[in-house]
A and B are shown apart, each in its own frame.
Chain A
Amino acid sequence: MSSDASRLGFYLLLAPILLWLVVLIILPHVGLFVVSISEKIGPREYEIGMGNYAAFFQEPLFWRTFARTAIMSILATALTLILGFPIAYYIAKLTQGRTKTTLFLMCMIPFWVSELVRTFGWMILLRETGVISNGLQALGLVSGPVEFLYNDAAIMVGLVYTSILFMVVPLVTTLDSLDNSLIEAGYDLGGSSTAVMREIVIPHAMPGIVSGCIVVFMLSLGNYLTPILLGGKDSLWFTGMIYTQFITRFNWELGSAFGFLLLILSSLVVFLGLKLSGQSLSETMGRS
Chain B
Amino acid sequence: MIPTVPQPVFAKWCYRAYVVAFFIYLALPLTVVGVFAFNNSVFPSLPWEGFTLAWFFGTEAPYIGVFHERSILRAIGTSAVVALWVSGLAVTVGTCNAFLFVRHEFRGKAFLYILMLLPLIIPGVILGISILVFSSSIANTLEDATGLWFDGLRPGLILVILGQFSFITTFATLVISARLQKFDPSLEEAALNLGASQWGAIRQITLPFLLPAIVASAVVSILMSFENFNTTLMLVGSDSPLTIAMFDKLKQGSTPVLNAVSLLLIAVSAALGLISLLFQSNKQ
Chain A residues within CB distance 8 Å of chain B:
5, 9-10, 12-14, 16-17, 20-21, 24-29, 31-32, 35, 83, 86-87, 89-90, 93-94, 103, 105-110, 112-118, 120-125, 127, 129-131, 134, 161, 164, 180, 183-184, 187, 193, 218, 221-225, 229, 239, 242-243, 246-247, 252, 255-256, 259, 262-263, 266-267, 270, 281-282, 285-286
Determine whether the beta carbon of A114 is less than 8 Å from that of B227. yes
Please name 5 further chain A to chain B contacts, defined as beta carbons within 8 Å, in addition to the given A24-B165, A282-B114, sorted by A numbering: A13-B99, A87-B19, A110-B27, A113-B269, A117-B266
Closest 8 CB pairs of A and B: A121-B29, A222-B123, A112-B273, A28-B130, A28-B134, A24-B166, A31-B134, A114-B227
Determine whether the beta carbon of A124 is less than 8 Å from that of B122. no
A255-B4 Cα distance, complex, nearest whole Å: 57
A9-B212 Cα distance, complex, nearest whole Å: 24
A27-B134, A31-B134 known; A83 and B97 CB under 8 Å? Answer: no
Determine whether the beta carbon of B125 is less than 8 Å from that of A259. yes
A31-B137, A184-B5, A252-B133 known; A110 and B30 CB under 8 Å? Answer: yes
A31-B133, A286-B174 known; A183 and B5 CB under 8 Å? Answer: yes
Contact of B46 with A by CB under 8 A: yes
Determine whether the beta carbon of B1 is less than 8 Å from that of A193. yes
Contact of B150 with A by CB under 8 A: no
Please name all residues of chain B whose beta carbon is closer than 8 Å to the beta carbon of A282 when the two chains form the complex.
Answer: 113-114, 117
Determine whether the beta carbon of A25 is less than 8 Å from that of B118. yes
Which of B92, B125, B198 has the most chain A CB within a 10 Å cutoff? Answer: B125
Contact of B78 with A by CB under 8 A: no
A285-B118 Cα distance, complex, nearest whole Å: 10
Contact of B258 with A by CB under 8 A: yes
Contact of B139 with A by CB under 8 A: no
Chain A binding site: helix, strand, loop or mixed by DSSP? helix
Which of A112, A247, A259, A270 has the most chain B CB within a 10 Å cutoff? Answer: A112
Q: Smallest distance from the beta carbon of B211 to chain A beta carbons, Å?
A: 19
Q: Smallest distance from the beta carbon of A70 to chain B beta carbons, Å?
A: 13
Please name all residues of chain B whose beta carbon is closer than 8 Å to the beta carbon of A180 when the two chains form the complex.
Answer: 2, 4
Which of B113, B114, B118, B274 has the most chain A CB within a 10 Å cutoff? Answer: B118
